[in-house]
Amino acid sequence: MKIAGKPFGLKDNLNDLDKKVLELLKSEPSRTYKTKQISRLLGLPQSSYHTLRATIRQLAKDGRILKFTKNKYGLASKSADVTGQLFVNSQGYGFVSRDDGEDIFISQKNMGLALHKDIVQVRLFATSRGKSPEGIITQVLERTRKKIVGTFTQGKHYNYLIPDDLKINQDIIIAPGEEKNARNGDKVVITIDSWEHKQLNPVGKVIELLGSPEKPGIDISSLIHHFELPAEFPNKILREADSYDDVIPEEESKRRLDLRGKTVFTIDPEDAKDFDDAVSLEKLGNGNLRLGVHIADVSYYVKENSIPDQEAADRGTSVYMVDRVIPMLPERISNILCSLVQGRDRLCYSVLLELTPSADVINYDIKETIINSSKRLTYREAQNILDGKRDSTLKPVLLEMRTLSRKLIEKRTMRGGVDFDSLEVEVVLDDEGKPVSLIRKERLDTNRLIEEFMLLANETVAKHVAVKIQNQYGEKVPFVYRVHEKPDQQKINEFLLTAKVFGFKVFPPKRFTTKFFQKIAKQFQAHPAAAVLEDTLIRTMMKARYSTENVGHFGLAYEYYTHFTSPIRRYPDLMVHRLLKKYLNGNFAGINKKDLKNKCNISTDREIRAQEAERASIKLKKAEYMERHLGDEFTGVIARMVPFGFFVEIPELLVDGLVHVTSLDDYYIWDEKNFSFVGKNNRKKYKLGDTVRVRVSHVDRNERIIDFVLA
């Protein structure tokens, strides 16, 4: 248990000594001193040395002076204070990220009372030992973690929480009477009530008892609380959603473009509960095609600034955990009123595109419509129809759609769009929530077909606003774009080095375009370590985000791009629908640009949180799956290297694990430049891309860790 010792408390009669030390340091603020130097300069007797040392240590703990290298102390100048967000490494140290992009190194002893992701004030050291500037946290400005999840543990003298998050390196004492009937080993959610000194442990109380970790679903519930995801809707939102009428008023149907006589259908995953997009395709008399992309008109029901809208804006997105979905909107809205279910009239916002036989868009309309889906297909069902394994009257239109989608893919490829082949892993669970198999998700022709039509609709809507609407009003109008910047040079250089280590001959161009990365991605697909290489390429790319400023989408090679096609599960799509309607009616003067920008930032943050939670749920189940393979041996590829070891991916199991450097047969030196470890005595070398034989040595599903040793 990580229980800290009691803080050293100085008596009141030491205040004069405090002042003398501070006055000495202030007299020459640029100098640093050892304790013996301070004692000599103050003319203190030898008998006071122990007291002086305790005084200096306390001043340093309080952040009033700083401890530098070689046990020297100096003045803590407030002019050196900066603010930022703390990101803690699982090894205990961390970095404070500043707005200017520079990171400040924080050692574990200089964390103060801060926790991972807190907004903090940092006092910089005059000198630093590493590449980054170094500092000490003097104040926590904002505690971003409201709740902490972990294991309730009964101690001899007091109870405490062991946090699930390895980045929280303090156990939290549970105040007497605040256990909420938790038993030893239970998963609980707590809040920190007090933390008086960094030499003491935080004290908190249990606010929710989750139960035994062996109970089905508790592991994922713990993750949901850890990421502070809003699992339940407040009753007032559910009541509001229940009040919405499921009968479409006749006047609303009459004012919309009626497409109920057209062959419109949905293609979705087998386990989908809501269907927010449908497609149609018909041949025109002039030989061209009319493609229809029909999106659920959520904005008709969810009015701006209504209670459900405020909740949706805060959630930002639906979250797809391994065993459940945390929706952005209540079920009555997402699964009933707005879901494009088969055989029911539904309100839509449609993009109707006229394309030539060679897939060139020559005309388009964006219309409020009413449709009636004639069929609900899964991706596999639609693929079986295309492959002749199943009869359907939709086969001719599906064949035409596949032909069109292939032409669109070819055009996008020629333009330079990077097409990542899906390497997603699906965890198959039994009725108890236990993982029974790990399988690679299929990417069928029908998946690509729908993806390509949605991409085209998103691009068309963005271009419509950025070009047509702006020309119409003669000024730049506010809008929500999905943007993706070009990767920075440092990441590109690291990527090129990785490709070289794997044996690829890469000749960097004078100017990096998407076509360069597209070419590399194609080469990767034939490599045995394709999954590792594609992951490296994805890490090189910047993260896509939402913005009111259009800078284009580098990865897709689009000058204009937005998200229009999933308003049931993404809030920016709902914003885009509303903006389109305002521009359709010539009403754009009242749009709050600041509010729009703020919501874009929130949506980006919520998307990142959702991705982290989804990945964590998969890693947890992978770890649980690997418990059955403890002691088993496998052949894998060194996929990633870090100073403390290397990660090995086992292709047949779709998992990876860490081989820690301390488990190797020699003292190994980390060669960062060449992504390798070299044995000091045996000169043996392990490098990125090597094939190795490993044994599963340790699994901790709670911490989502899989460890290997070389076999």
Global confidence as pTM: 0.85
Between strands 172-174 and 203-211, the pairing is: parallel
pLDDT at 78 over 70: no
Q: How many CB atoms lie within 10 A of CB 581?
A: 16
User: pLDDT for 694-705, tens place per residue?
Assistant: 999 999 988 899
Instruction: Please report the pLDDT score of residue 60 as a whole number.
Output: 78
Calculate mean pLDDT across residues 3-7: 39
Is residue 369 within 8 Å of 256, Cβ to Cβ? yes
Handedness of CA 110, 114, 116, 121 (dihedral sign): negative
Range picked from 11-15, 647-651, 695-699 for highest mean pLDDT: 695-699
Residues in the chain: 711
Is 630-710 the same fold as 78-142?
yes
pLDDT at 527 over 90: no
Of 336, 600, 593, which is closest to residue 482 (Cα–Cα)?
600
pLDDT grade, residue 100 (50/70/90)?
Answer: low
Pick the CATH number of 12-75 from 1.10.260.40, 3.90.550.10, 1.20.210.10, 1.10.10.10: 1.10.10.10
Instruction: Please report the pLDDT score of residue 13 as a whole number.
Output: 41
User: pLDDT for 569-588, tens place per residue?
Assistant: 999 999 999 999 999 887 77
Phi/psi of residue 28, each to 5°? -140, 80
Class assignment of domain 78-142?
mainly beta
Instruction: Please report the pLDDT score of residue 6 as a whole number.
Output: 34
DSSP letter at 112? T
State the SS3 of 476-489: CCCCCEEEECCCCH
d(CA 424, CA 443): 9
3-class DSSP state of 543: coil
Range picked from 33-42, 171-180, 465-474 for highest mean pLDDT: 171-180
Q: Picking from 55-59, 203-207, 458-462, 618-622, which range would have the lowest pLDDT averaged per residue?
A: 55-59
pLDDT at 7 over 70: no
- Across the beta sheet with 81-88, the strand order is 103-106, 94-97, 81-88, 119-124, 135-142
Amino acid at 601: N
Domain extent listing, the chain: 12-75, 78-142, 148-212, 235-483+547-615, 489-541, 630-710
d(CA 299, CA 578): 7
Calculate mean pLDDT across residues 397-403: 97
pLDDT grade, residue 680 (50/70/90)?
Answer: very high
User: pLDDT for 329-371, tens place per residue?
Assistant: 999 999 999 999 999 999 999 999 999 999 999 999 999 999 9
Q: Which two tokens stand for residue 116?
A: 């991972």
d(CA 168, CA 108): 11
Is 630-710 assigned to CATH 3.30.465.10?
no
Phi/psi of residue 509, each to 5°? -75, 170
pLDDT grade, residue 472 (50/70/90)?
Answer: confident
pLDDT grade, residue 672 (50/70/90)?
Answer: confident
The set of residues, in sequence order, having a beta carbon less than 8 Å from that of 548 and lying 6+ positions away, is 478, 479, 480, 481, 593, 596, 597, 600
Calculate mean pLDDT across residues 601-617: 96
What does the CA dihedral 207, 212, 218, 223 come to, rounded to 10 degrees? 60
Instruction: Please report the pLDDT score of residue 698 as a whole number.
Output: 96
Q: Picking from 31-35, 402-406, 530-534, 615-619, which range would have the lowest pLDDT averaged per residue?
A: 530-534
pLDDT at 4 over 50: no
Distance of alpha carbon 622 from the chain centroid:
18
Look over the chain and give the mean of its residue pLDDT values, rounded to a whole number: 89
CATH number of this structure's domain 148-212? 2.40.50.700
Calculate mean pLDDT across residues 99-115: 85
pLDDT at 664 over 90: yes
